[in-house]
Structure 1
Amino acid sequence: MRLRPVLADESDEPWALRWRHSEPRFRPTTDARLTALRRSVFEDALAAIKPGRPIKVTTYVFAECGRDADALHARLAANARDRGWIVHRERFTDHPLTLGQLCTRPQFNLACRHAGSGFIDGVLAAGRDAMPSTDEAYESYLRWLHRHYAFIAFLQPTIGGATWTDR
């Protein structure tokens, strides 16, 4: 987990008690905190699924300029099948048309609504860059999905054809 130092003026303790900390204190970076939250949401959602019931996911792609959305959907579907998940027939793709639309992702919103409604258990995306651009919006999606026992998962990297896991 990535950490950043807590500066003396950022501390919540009264000034008179700060002398107790002779070693520097650290807190997680925003990215590390959101990664931990996503993993927690993922684990809680999987724990809520009845044992033996297949996990159903949909694929989501944020198709930036130059990206082949169909190929990425196929790669995500193959990754889901490798994990033993069932891929829902509906898939979601956002295409930014102008610079002003980089922040709006209506198809991602729809994919999350499908997950929250119980049609699927989760949304599989390529990575954090496909998620809403602001950390606050991404965190609110994660918390909303957590309340509905759904998750967001990212594509697992592969090395030499074998799935690599970061545990």
Structure 2
Amino acid sequence: MRLQPVPADELEESWLWWKPAEPRFRMTPDARLNALRRSVFGDAVAAVRPGRPIKVTTYVFAAPGVDVDATHTLLGQHARDRGWVVHREHFTDEPTGGPLPIRPQFNTACRRAGSGFVDGVLTTDRGAMPATDEAYEAYLRWLHRHNVFVAFLQRTIGGTAWIDQ
């Protein structure tokens, strides 16, 4: 878990009893959102009826140079390796060239999941998600209310799972 120091001016306003000489830390925004995503994932998987396979759809944000078909195939293989069933539909967005990328297909994938067609959306990494932390958190909270998740492809190096620490 990554931590960042809490600025002294925040301590003085909200924690009058706290000694300024003692450092206080909190999670970084990335660590907090990653913990929220993992919590949403755990709750959604726990809500799946025992014995029923987890169904996912794949989503790719196709930045320039990304082979979309190969990425969907890789995501599908990763899902099957975990024992998940891949839904026949997959979703792809391409950058529009504006200041913030628009992701209408991601919205559709989330609506399909929220409607019960799939249990989650499998994508490559955080880069495929909405750019701002606020928008990403809003999606995670919406998914949590609908008992569905977003999962990232686990990178492998030399055949072993590698997880960002």
TM-score, length basis structure 2:
0.93
Where do residues 1-167 of structure 1 align in structure 2 (5 Å cutoff)? 1-11=1-11, 12-14=14-16, 17-19=17-19, 22-100=21-99, 102-164=100-162
Shift of 1:104: 1.0
Structure 2 unpaired stretches of 5+? none
- Alpha-carbon distance change, 74 to 25 in structure 1, aligned in 2, over 3 angstroms: same
**Conservation of the 8 A alpha-carbon contact between 2:61 and 2:93:** yes
- 1-structure distance, mates of 2:152, 2:123: 5
Q: How many residues align?
A: 163
Q: What is the alpha-carbon distance in structure 1 between the residues aligned to residue 3 and residue 136 of structure 2?
A: 20
Task: Tell me the distance in 1 between the aligned counterparts of 2:45 and 2:81.
Answer: 16
| 1:82-126 C-alpha deviation (Å, 9 max, x unpaired) | 0000000000000113234x4210000000001111100000000
- Cα RMSD over matched residues? 1.5
CA distance, structure 2, for counterparts of residue 47 and residue 63 of structure 1: 31
Check whether the contact 2:78–2:153 (CA below 8 A) recurs between aligned residues. Answer: yes
TM-score, structure 1 as length reference: 0.92
Letter in 1 for 2:26: R
2: CA distance between counterparts of 1:107 and 1:157? 24
Distance 1:10 1:103 in 2: 33
Give the fraction of aligned pairs with identical amino acids, expressed as a percent: 67
Gaps of at least 5 residues in structure 1 are none
